[in-house]
Chain A
Amino acid sequence: MHHFIDRRRNPKGKSLGNRQRFLRRTRHHIKDMVDKSVQKRSVKGDGTDDHSVGERVTIPVKGIREPRLTQSNTGGFRQRVFPGNKDFVVGDSFPRPKGGAGQGGREGADSGEGEDGFSFNLTREEYLQILFDGLELPDLIKKASVETETIATRRAGITTSGTPNNLNLVRTMRNSLGRRIALKRPSADDFAKLEQEIVDLEALSDPNAAQIRLLADLRHQFEALERKRRVVGYIDPLDLRFDTFTTEKVRNSKAVIFCLMDVSGSMQEREKDLAKRFFILLNLFLERAYEHSEIVFVRHTHHAQEVDEETFFYARETGGTIVSTALQEMRDIIDDRYPSDEWNIYGAQASDGENFGNDSVKCESLLTEQLLPFCQYFAYVEIVPESEDRLLNDPGAGGDLWHSYRRVKQNFPNFEMLRVSEPAHIYPMFRKLFAKKVAGDTS
Chain B
Amino acid sequence: MIDSTTHARPLFDGPDWSFDLMSTVHDAIQEIALNDLGLNIYPNQIEIISAEQMLDAYSCVGMPLMYQHWSFGKHFVRDETYYRKGMMGLAYEIVINSNPCISYNMEENTMAMQTLVMAHAAFGHNHFFKNNYLFRDWTDASGIHDYLAFAKNFIADCEERHGLDAVEQVLDAAHALRDQGVFRYGRPPKPTAQEQAAMLQQREGAKSGRSVLDLWTDTILGSPEQAQSEGEAALSSRQGELSLPQENLLYFLEKHSPNLAPWQREIVRIVRYLAQYMYPQKQTKVMNEGCATFTHYYIIIRLYEKGLITQGAFMEMMHSHTNVIMQPEFDDPRFNGLNPYAIGFAMMQDIRRICENPTNEDREWFPEFAGDPDWKSVMRNAWANYRDESFILQFLSPHLIRQLKLFVITDDEKQANLVVSQIHNKRGYREVRQILARSYDLAFLEPDIQVVDADLKGDRELQLVHRVQNGIDLVDEDRTEVLKHIKRLWGYEVKLTGIDRDSGETLYSRTTRVAAADAA
Contacts and interface: CB of A to CB of B under 8 A. Distances in A.
B407 to A, nearest CB: 4
Contacts of B166: none
A357 interface: no
Given A5-B45, A71-B447, A76-B471, A17 B417 contact: no
Contact of A83 (B30, B164, B329): B329
B449 A69 contact: yes
Given A78-B472, A79-B421, A107-B337, A69 B107 contact: no
B418 A84 contact: no
B473 interface: yes
A120 B80 contact: yes
Interface residues of A, number: 68
A7 B179 contact: no
B337 A110 contact: yes
Contacts of A12: 50, 52-53, 56
B470 A77 contact: yes
B148 to A, nearest CB: 13
Nearest to B402: A85
Given A8-B53, A12-B53, A83-B404, A64 B471 contact: no
B47 A4 contact: yes
Nearest to B464: A69
A120 B84 CA distance: 10
A19 B49 CA distance: 20
B282 A111 contact: yes
Given A64-B74, A66-B71, A90-B420, A79 B445 contact: no
B81 A4 contact: no
A96 to B, nearest CB: 6
A25 B53 contact: no
Interface string B468-481: 01111111111101
Contacts of A23: 73
Interface string A13-47: 11101111111111000000000000000000000
B236 to A, nearest CB: 27
Contacts of B81: 118-121
B137 interface: no
Contacts of A104: 330, 335-338
A23 B74 CA distance: 9
A92 B479 CA distance: 36
A6 interface: yes
Given A102-B418, A104-B335, A7 B46 contact: no
Nearest to A122: B77
Nearest to B407: A85
A103 B330 contact: yes
B48 A7 contact: yes
B411 A79 contact: yes
Contacts of A20: 73
A68 interface: yes
B242 interface: no
Nearest to A3: B45
A60 B178 CA distance: 24
A70 interface: yes
Contact of B50 (A8, A91, A110): A8
A188 interface: no
A72 B472 CA distance: 7
Interface stretch (B251-259, B293-301, B422-430): B422-430
A224 to B, nearest CB: 61
B46 to A, nearest CB: 5
A95 B416 CA distance: 7
Nearest to B34: A1
A220 to B, nearest CB: 67
B418 A95 contact: yes
B338 A15 contact: no
Nearest to A112: B179
B417 A94 contact: yes
Contact of A5 (B46, B175, B328, B337): B46
Given A19-B73, A108-B445, A7 B49 contact: yes
Contacts of A86: 331, 405
Contacts of A89: 420, 423
Interface string B414-455: 101111111111011000100110010000011101000000
Nearest to B404: A83
A106 B470 contact: no
Given A95-B417, A106-B336, A2 B59 contact: no
B259 to A, nearest CB: 20
Given A21-B168, A69-B449, A80 B439 contact: yes
A72 B474 contact: yes
B22 to A, nearest CB: 6
Interface in B1-48: 19, 22-23, 26, 30, 43-48
B509 interface: no
A151 B471 CA distance: 76
Contacts of B428: 90
Contact of B48 (A4, A83, A92): A4
B410 interface: yes
Nearest to B122: A2
A13 B411 CA distance: 47
B202 interface: no
Given A18-B73, A95-B418, A119-B81, A25 B168 contact: yes
B200 interface: no
Contact of A68 (B164, B282, B424, B482): B482
B478 to A, nearest CB: 4
B487 interface: no
B441 to A, nearest CB: 12
B106 to A, nearest CB: 10
A118 B178 CA distance: 24
B70 interface: yes
B471 to A, nearest CB: 4
Contacts of B46: 2-5
B119 to A, nearest CB: 13
Given A80-B409, A104-B337, A71 B475 contact: yes
A222 B55 CA distance: 82
Nearest to B42: A1
B418 A94 contact: yes
Contacts of A25: 70, 73, 168
B23 A81 contact: no
A2 B28 CA distance: 13
A87 B337 CA distance: 20
Nearest to A21: B70
Given A90-B420, A108-B445, 14 more contacts: A1-B44, A4-B48, A8-B107, A14-B60, A15-B72, A18-B70, A66-B71, A68-B482, A69-B180, A71-B474, A82-B406, A93-B418, A103-B335, A121-B81
Interface of B: 19, 22-23, 26, 30, 43-50, 52-53, 55-56, 59-60, 68-78, 80-81, 104, 107, 122, 164, 168, 172, 175-180, 282, 327-332, 335-338, 404-414, 416-425, 427-428, 432, 435-436, 439, 445-447, 449, 469-479, 481-482, 485
- In order of increasing CB-CB distance, the 5 nearest A-B pairs are A84-B329, A22-B73, A18-B73, A76-B471, A67-B481
23 contacts: A4-B23, A5-B45, A7-B53, A7-B104, A15-B76, A18-B69, A18-B70, A19-B77, A67-B481, A69-B179, A69-B447, A71-B472, A71-B473, A71-B474, A79-B408, A85-B424, A90-B428, A91-B419, A102-B418, A104-B338, A106-B337, A108-B445, A118-B77
